[in-house]
Chains A and B, each alone.
Chain A
């Protein structure tokens, strides 16, 4: 893959991650810029320190904004923003 193709692939993931960060900040009323959240940081407990109520809010928000229902998913899908991006945009996981 050329470097331009790799950059395009990275940009696709970063765009989805950016959408998720904006959603988290907006829905949970966080007083930080969305980009302050990194793609790989933990979201629950450590990291963004979200709790179980926040998870419920995010379930609803993700379904509304991405049309993806994660209600029966394991906690691992909330392991990081990038991990969540794999769920809301499965094309990111596809190998070329």
Chain B
């Protein structure tokens, strides 16, 4: 499936398959797009995020069962990020859940819509309708000055919404859902718009911000330990091993995957993920990690961080070695484990004015 915006992206845009969707990986260069994201503002094509509507008389009850976060009182002016787990506690997807008057709207991660939809339908029950909203598309804004773009593009008052607030707004005569969200630690916003209006909104947004592709977005996510599901959920890792506990409300009475997650937590052993950096090379997933010459784990994934100008990756290592400040060896190269965030977002020191 191609991006709804594929036809408006300029010639030279590099697309790549992410799950079930072809998304723009980069428009110019990763370095330029990353710097724009961390220093100014970028517009992000999130049309690879599928929207799935849960409606019907049992919609909220169903959403409460399938989402790991508590959504029982998720009103239409709020959204929340949550994991969706299977019975074994493995991650199906990381979603944004929007409270709606008639149920809950889920936004999948990039390219994970088909898998998420199949999972939800497999758990479907009477009184629940699960509908793919292919008539809607998502466009995002990220960056320390993204709030300024919101002001110029839609409405200045929307820029200072509290985190995870949602407003039903009108843009250019079109009803949209506007949310303060963010994946990168910078100020972030999302606009859910009719698919046939997405191209126009995208074009107008480009008058105020440059575009950034999936590569820049995922790099910035990694730098603040925002899970990137397509890289981190493989190999049957549990949520506890991933370190994504914060995307679960473990005090919630019941949800799919809760028992398995509690068992993994109670076990206490196994491996945990820790960030690492090294001067050169990008080790492939699965590359062995050595401590004092002994095999203690493997690389989850790694990239070249523009912000650090060095290799940045995640490694899954024995729990008693999952800590910052250790010198380890990855694929023959010396690396050092890190404390997150690996790059401090500029937005943390810039107020919205």
- Contact surface of A with B, Cβ cutoff 8 Å: 1-7, 9-11, 13-14, 17, 31-32, 35-42, 45-48, 74-76, 79-80, 82-83, 85-86, 92-93, 95
Q: Pick from B224, B245, B293, B339 the residue with the most CB of A within 10 Å.
A: B339
For the complex, give the distance between the alpha carbons of A45 and B243 in Å: 17
- Whether A47 contacts B246 in the complex (CB less than 8 A), given A1-B292, A3-B294, A75-B349, comes out as yes
User: Which one of B84-92, B132-140, B315-323 is at the interface?
Assistant: B315-323
Chain A residues, Cβ within 8 Å of B43: none
* Residue in contact with B339 in the complex, picked from A14, A32, A46, A80, CB distance below 8 Å: A80
Nearest chain A CB to B261 CB, angstrom units: 10
Can you name the residue of chain B whose Cβ is closest to the Cβ of A17? B323
User: How many of B's residues come within 8 Å of A, CB to CB?
Assistant: 37
Nearest chain A CB to B252 CB, angstrom units: 11
Q: Pick from B320, B327, B340, B349 the residue with the most CB of A within 10 Å.
A: B340
Q: Across the interface, do B321 and A7 meet the contact criterion of CB distance under 8 Å? A: yes
For the complex, give the distance between the alpha carbons of A42 and B157 in Å: 27
Q: Across the interface, do B323 and A74 meet the contact criterion of CB distance under 8 Å? A: no
- Whether A40 contacts B325 in the complex (CB less than 8 A), given A3-B293, A5-B292, A6-B291, comes out as no
Interface positions, chain B 223-274, Cβ under 8 Å from A, are 224-226, 243, 245-246, 250-251, 265, 272-274
Q: 15 A-B residue contacts at CB 8 Å?
A: A1-B292, A2-B292, A3-B294, A4-B292, A6-B321, A10-B326, A36-B265, A38-B246, A41-B246, A41-B340, A42-B224, A42-B341, A74-B344, A76-B348, A79-B340
Chain B residues, Cβ within 8 Å of A35: 265
Can you name the residue of chain B whose Cβ is closest to the Cβ of A47? B246
Q: Across the interface, do A36 and B322 meet the contact criterion of CB distance under 8 Å? A: no
Q: Across the interface, do A6 and B224 meet the contact criterion of CB distance under 8 Å? A: no
Chain A residues, Cβ within 8 Å of B327: 1, 6
Q: Across the interface, do B326 and A9 meet the contact criterion of CB distance under 8 Å? A: yes
- Contact surface of B with A, Cβ cutoff 8 Å: 81, 163, 182, 185, 224-226, 243, 245-246, 250-251, 265, 272-275, 291-294, 296, 320-328, 339-341, 344, 348-349
Q: Pick from A5, A6, A13, A39 the residue with the most CB of B within 10 Å.
A: A6
Q: Across the interface, do A83 and B340 meet the contact criterion of CB distance under 8 Å? A: yes
- Whether A46 contacts B340 in the complex (CB less than 8 A), given A41-B246, A76-B348, comes out as no
Q: Across the interface, do A32 and B292 meet the contact criterion of CB distance under 8 Å? A: no
* Residue in contact with B320 in the complex, picked from A5, A10, A47, A75, CB distance below 8 Å: A10
For the complex, give the distance between the alpha carbons of A9 and B320 in Å: 10
Nearest chain B CB to A41 CB, angstrom units: 4
Q: Across the interface, do B324 and A13 meet the contact criterion of CB distance under 8 Å? A: yes
Q: Across the interface, do A41 and B243 meet the contact criterion of CB distance under 8 Å? A: yes
- Whether A3 contacts B341 in the complex (CB less than 8 A), given A38-B243, A40-B225, comes out as no
